[in-house]
């Protein structure tokens, strides 16, 4: 049982294990348990070739829903002995996370996409588990390079394995607007036509977006859509010149500079635009959050930035959602329920710390620890390097509650790992940057602080390499990790 990532709250191994066979039944009675059992069965049938029937009769794997105050909204207990595997939780999300742990207890061959010979032992013992932070996120930038629905759905499946429960989609930037908005069709008819380096770009229809949201929901992941404002808007300005200060549409942009575009903060049409875009996004998005960006607004004057923030943040609330913004917006004194996503590289962040004192909560994404788009070392090929070189040990070696002075767990909603896409165009490239750092940040977000131990972590992480190989994940073979064969 010393293989689980993120490491659980407690693990007590025993030598009485269980093995899946061709007659193993997955027992589930409530609709919640049946849904989780079916999802697990689909995953395991491929590799085992077993029927793994789901039903109410006694079975070797059993999912039970039952109140248990220790477990909270997402916790679970898992017991493995000679009689079988029992997973209990107070919620469907808890059962789902327990099923992910069970997958990690099976041999790596269980992750293969084709039938494998087995055997299928599950080591004996008990796990008690629940998360440190309720928000465990990953961000994917689909604006710099566009990623089709299938690539996003594949990422969702990967996130779920490591108990990440929010997918932040960076849907708009200078290089492209990637979500169809019915009232503003040129955003995608024109503004989605290219991407970094002049590739074809692309966008999600509203039906595409709904299918991403549904796939995420089936994996207990909440989608957080971002439209970045008032900067990072060249694609919108190129599509609707009335949103610019001088009424002139700029050309589409395929470079990787930042900070050169801004919405006009003085024209009423800007706020009608944002209001209508947020209305459609709120309608398409069942989750509680809309992210409105706010980063690197270097072409917006300080007064204009303040004016814009004062009007933009309440528009999110008007549509029944909670606003998330990048931490720069802290200096505008936003409404206290606004969540700030911190992406700085040091604890020197007085405006963010002051906002926390006023009641704003944080999502921690310090760029020198959590940015999956930064290079591992100067010799690894993909990625940028403005924040840091981030090897696995660096991604692991920090604590969200000591990064900023006076910001402890109570002020932190959670942790998120952003994957910016200036240098990546396909799923192999996503894999290389995300693995092994995505599971590393997932452990920082889920596991209790007391479990933090590099030697233990790298040994557990090493056992995941063979799993990723079976899943077709092109990971970085970091020299920090003693990879298993």
**Binding to ligand TNX (CB under 6 A): which residues in 135-194?**
none
**Binding to ligand TNX (CB under 6 A): which residues in 240-269?**
258
What's the CA gap between 212 and 189, in Å, rounded? 21
296 binds ligand TNX (CB under 6 A): yes
Between 30 and 69, how does the x/- string for binding to ligand TNX read (CB under 6 A)?
A: ----------------------------------------
Q: Token digits for 13?
A: 């191994």
CB of 373 to ligand TNX, least distance (A): 5
CB of 168 to ligand TNX, least distance (A): 11
Spatial contact of 74 and 46, defined as CB atoms under 8 Å apart:
no
**Binding to ligand TNX (CB under 6 A): which residues in 352-391?**
371, 373, 384
393 binds ligand TNX (CB under 6 A): no
What's the CA gap between 305 and 311, in Å, rounded? 10
Tell me if residue 195 is catalytic: no
CB of 338 to ligand TNX, least distance (A): 16
Considering beta carbons, is residue 29 or 296 the nearer one to ligand TNX?
296
Spatial contact of 313 and 325, defined as CB atoms under 8 Å apart:
yes
CB of 478 to ligand TNX, least distance (A): 20
| Number of residues near ligand TNX (by CB under 6 A) | 10
Q: Token digits for 100?
A: 């992910």
| Phi, psi for residue 436 in degrees, rounded to 5 | -100, 15
Helices (H) and strands (E) in the chain, counts: 15, 19
- Phi-psi domain of 294 (left: phi exceeds 0; alpha: psi -120 through 50; beta: other): left
Considering beta carbons, is residue 105 or 329 the nearer one to ligand TNX?
329
CB of 296 to ligand TNX, least distance (A): 5
The catalytic position among 157, 276, 296, 469 is 296
- Residue keyed to tokens 């690197």: 296
CB of 237 to ligand TNX, least distance (A): 16
- Residues constituting the chain: 485
What's the CA gap between 70 and 47, in Å, rounded? 34
Spatial contact of 24 and 145, defined as CB atoms under 8 Å apart:
no
Considering beta carbons, is residue 371 or 396 the nearer one to ligand TNX?
371
Considering beta carbons, is residue 96 or 371 the nearer one to ligand TNX?
371
Considering beta carbons, is residue 371 or 468 the nearer one to ligand TNX?
371
Q: Token digits for 290?
A: 């809309």
Closest CA to 256 of 191, 301, 198, 200: 198
What's the CA gap between 272 and 226, in Å, rounded? 17
Considering beta carbons, is residue 50 or 260 the nearer one to ligand TNX?
260
Query: Which member of 135, 273, 308, 326 binds ligand TNX (CB under 6 A)?
Result: 326
Considering beta carbons, is residue 116 or 368 the nearer one to ligand TNX?
368
CB of 324 to ligand TNX, least distance (A): 12
| Phi, psi for residue 177 in degrees, rounded to 5 | -110, 120
295 binds ligand TNX (CB under 6 A): yes
| Phi, psi for residue 369 in degrees, rounded to 5 | -125, -45
CB of 357 to ligand TNX, least distance (A): 23
What's the CA gap between 447 and 415, in Å, rounded? 12
What's the CA gap between 193 and 178, in Å, rounded? 9
Per DSSP, the three-state class of 186 is helix
b (16+ CB within 10 A) / e for 28-53: beeebbbbbbebbbebbeebbebebe
Considering beta carbons, is residue 308 or 371 the nearer one to ligand TNX?
371
All residues at 6 or more sequence positions from 430 whose CB lies less than 8 Å from its CB, including other chains: 140, 147, 151, 155, 419, 424
Which residues belong to the active site?
296
> What does the binding site for ligand TNX look like in residue numbers (CB under 6 A)?
258, 295-296, 326, 343, 371, 373, 384, 420, 422
């Amino acid at each position: 049982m010393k293989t689980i990532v993120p490491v659980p709250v407690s693990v007590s191994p025993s030598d009485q294990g269980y093995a899946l066979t061709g007659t193993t039944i997955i027992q589930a009675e409530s609709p919640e348990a049946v849904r989780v059992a079916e999802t697990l069965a689909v995953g395991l049938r491929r590799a085992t070739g077993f029927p793994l029937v789901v039903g109410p009769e006694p079975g070797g794997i059993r999912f039970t829903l039952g109140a248990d105050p220790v477990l909270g909204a997402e916790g679970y207990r898992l017991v493995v002995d000679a009689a079988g595997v029992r997973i209990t939780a107070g919620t469907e999300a808890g059962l789902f996370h327990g099923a992910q742990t069970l997958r990690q207890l099976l041999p790596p061959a269980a992750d293969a996409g084709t039938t494998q010979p087995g055997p299928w032992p599950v080591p004996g013992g008990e796990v008690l588990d629940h998360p440190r932070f309720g928000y465990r996120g990953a961000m994917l930038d689909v604006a710099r390079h566009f990623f089709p629905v299938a690539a996003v759905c594949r990422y969702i499946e990967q996130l779920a394995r490591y108990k990440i429960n929010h997918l932040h989609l960076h849907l708009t930037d200078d290089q492209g607007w990637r979500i169809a908005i019915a009232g503003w069709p040129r955003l995608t008819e024109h503004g989605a036509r290219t991407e970094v380096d002049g590739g074809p770009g692309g966008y999600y229809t509203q039906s595409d977006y709904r299918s991403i949201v549904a796939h995420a929901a089936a994996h207990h992941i909440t989608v957080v859509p971002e439209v970045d404002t008032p900067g990072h808007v060249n694609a919108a300005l190129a599509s609707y010149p009335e949103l610019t200060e001088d009424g002139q549409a700029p050309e589409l942009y395929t470079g990787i500079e930042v900070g050169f575009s801004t919405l006009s903060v003085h024209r009423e049409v800007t706020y009608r635009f944002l209001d209508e875009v947020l209305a459609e996004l709120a309608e398409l998005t069942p989750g509680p959050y809309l992210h409105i960006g706010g980063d690197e607004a270097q072409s917006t004057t300080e007064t204009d930035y303040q004016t814009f923030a004062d009007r933009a943040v309440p528009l999110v609330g008007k549509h029944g959602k909670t606003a998330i913004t990048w931490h720069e917006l802290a200096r505008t004194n936003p409404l206290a329920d606004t969540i700030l996503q911190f992406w700085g590289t040091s604890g020197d962040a007085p405006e963010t710390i002051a906002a926390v004192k006023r009641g704003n909560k944080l999502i921690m994404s310090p760029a020198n620890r959590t940015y999956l788009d930064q290079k591992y070392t100067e010799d690894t090929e993909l990625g940028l390097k403005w924040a840091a070189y981030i090897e696995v040990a660096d991604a692991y070696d920090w604590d969200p509650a000591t990064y900023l002075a006076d910001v402890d767990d109570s002020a932190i909603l959670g942790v998120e790992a952003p994957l910016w896409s200036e240098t990546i165009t396909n799923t192999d490239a996503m894999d290389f940057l995300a693995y092994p750092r995505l599971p590393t940040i997932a452990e920082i977000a889920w596991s209790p602080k007391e479990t933090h131990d590099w030697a233990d972590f790298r040994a557990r992480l090493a056992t995941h390499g063979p799993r990723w190989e079976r899943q077709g994940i092109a990971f970085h073979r970091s020299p920090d990790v003693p990879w298993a064969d």
